[in-house]
Amino acid sequence: MSTASSETATGSAAPDDGPEKRSRKPPRLTVPDGVRPYLAPLLLYGVTKLVGLTVFAWLLESADDYQKKNPRFGGGAHWWDVLATWDGWWYLQVAEKGYDPGPLEPLGPGGLFTVKQNSVAFFPLYPGLIRGTSEITGLGLYGSGILVSVLASFVAAAGIYAVISTLAGVRAGTIAAGLWAVAPGAGVEWAVYSESVFVAIAAWCCYCVMKRRWVAAGLLAFAAGLNRPTSAALIGAVGLAAIVTLARRESRREHGVSGPVYAMVAAPLGLLTYITWVGLSSGDLTAYFTLQREGWAHYFDFGKYTLDVLGNTAVGHNNYLFAFSVPDLLGVQIVLALPFLIALMLRKKPPLVLVAYTLASVITVLGTQQMFGNTGRYLLPVFPLLLAPAAAMSRLKWPSLAVFFATAAVASGWYAHYVIFELGIP
């Protein structure tokens, strides 16, 4: 049989109808398998946060107070300027000008503060990210600060999902990401504040410890130490988990020695390096702690201030430092809920790193004199407290969950945003 006949018989020589007659399927957007599990929690988180922020903006415009306030202290020309006030102003100053370390400047006697406030009280990682983002993107410092916070908040929500889903299932992990969006104090997640960056680091650090990825855990704890002084709780939790791993013969054989030792050594270096640098630059190794105590009236007092606030609030008095009625009342409710949340978390028997991180963080917050109305914000990084509520809510049907998150998202525009920025000092 000839070649032409063979081609005709098999159809291999069929005429080309041209590109216009060929069936062309549109390209499909494929999502990597490793990313797909995070789509639902991140969507829930993003939509919930957006609703809360919208309500916050509406409340600001309705009250019409922010334009009358100092742009540094809760005011501005536009509602979004409020998101860069208070601590946000300090972070933008560091991003723009860097630090100006030197001996602490004493103030006159008789006032609340005895030394002048200084930008070295604000750790360098977040303002460094703002400056770097501005240099790369061409955005101004404000836009870069918001961009860093928003992106970091999604990384944090993904980390919370990773931790909670490992312990309680995918559904609970998704719900936990949504709960973090409406938690008290969540208003700073999309503001020029360092919480989102810190929680992103803390959540993934804890996840790495759970998965015994010690090198990554050590590096993340190191980075956390350059972001906030409260990283001490995370650093201690990583070190304790590493010590327990080394103390047990079985885990030592399974995971080795070098990884846990590396995590123990690397974890505190960021925090120690920055505090030491402040001390050396100021001529006093305790300068950072002196500045916190005498420049901001923040120091560990073993819970004396917290008990003072609780006692005053119980009888309707406000004879205590930094009294703000609405934020403080919400703070009291949060404190009263803490024992219940901790007990429920412990019933789930989470890994040691989560238990240590949670308890150390709670003790630090309740044992420190600071703005009591910001208790929700200070506890925002303690995401393991979401474990039990998320696990319980995972039994609900999605219609019920939709009603809950819609209601909570709207309400969060007030209690998690407006209250802390306009009715208190975040």
**Are 280 and 294 spatial neighbours (Cβ–Cβ below 8 Å)?**
no
Please give the pLDDT value at position 26: 58
- Which tokens is 201 given? 């680091």
Q: How is residue 369 annotated by DSSP?
A: E
| CA atoms of 119 and 96, how far apart (whole Å) | 12
Please report, as a single letter, which amino acid is at residue 45. Answer: Y
Please give the pLDDT value at position 109: 81
Please give the pLDDT value at position 4: 41
Residue 2 has pLDDT above 50, yes or no: no
| CA atoms of 176 and 172, how far apart (whole Å) | 6
| CA atoms of 57 and 43, how far apart (whole Å) | 21
In order, the DSSP letters of 112-125 are S-SB---GGGS-SH
List b or e across 91-128, with b for residues whose CB sees 16 or more CB atoms inside 10 angstroms: bbbbbeeebebeebeeeeeeeeebbeebbbbbbbbbbb
Please give the pLDDT value at position 189: 98
Place of tokens 């006093």: 284
Residue 6 has pLDDT above 50, yes or no: no
Please report, as a single letter, which amino acid is at residue 186. Answer: A
| CA atoms of 227 and 381, how far apart (whole Å) | 13
- Which tokens is 395 given? 């039994």
- Listed residue (340, 326, 357, 359) closest to 184, CA to CA: 326
Pick 242 or 22 by higher pLDDT. 242
| CA atoms of 252 and 46, how far apart (whole Å) | 41
In order, the DSSP letters of 19-73 are GGGS--PPPP-PPPTTTGGGHHHHHHHHHHHHHHHHHHHHHHHHHT-GGGS-TTT
Q: Where is average pLDDT lowest: 8-12, 48-52, 311-315? A: 8-12
Please give the pLDDT value at position 24: 60
20-75 tens-digit pLDDT:
444 465 556 577 777 888 999 999 999 999 999 999 999 999 999 999 999 999 99
**Percentage of the chain modeled with pLDDT above 90:** 87
**Are 195 and 188 spatial neighbours (Cβ–Cβ below 8 Å)?**
yes
**What is the torsion angle, in degrees rounded to the nearest 10, for the CA atoms of residue 304, residue 310, residue 315 and residue 319?**
50
Please give the pLDDT value at position 356: 98
pTM of the model: 0.91
Task: Taking each helix axis as running N to C, give the angle between helix 258-266 and helix 214-224, from 0 to 180 degrees, rounded to the nearest 10.
Answer: 0
Q: How is residue 103 annotated by DSSP?
A: S
Mean pLDDT for the stretch of residues 205-221: 97
Mean pLDDT for the stretch of residues 365-384: 97
Task: Count the neighbouring beta carbons within 10 Å of the beta carbon of residue 367.
Answer: 15
| CA atoms of 7 and 335, how far apart (whole Å) | 83
Please give the pLDDT value at position 254: 81
Place of tokens 């006692």: 311
Please give the pLDDT value at position 30: 73
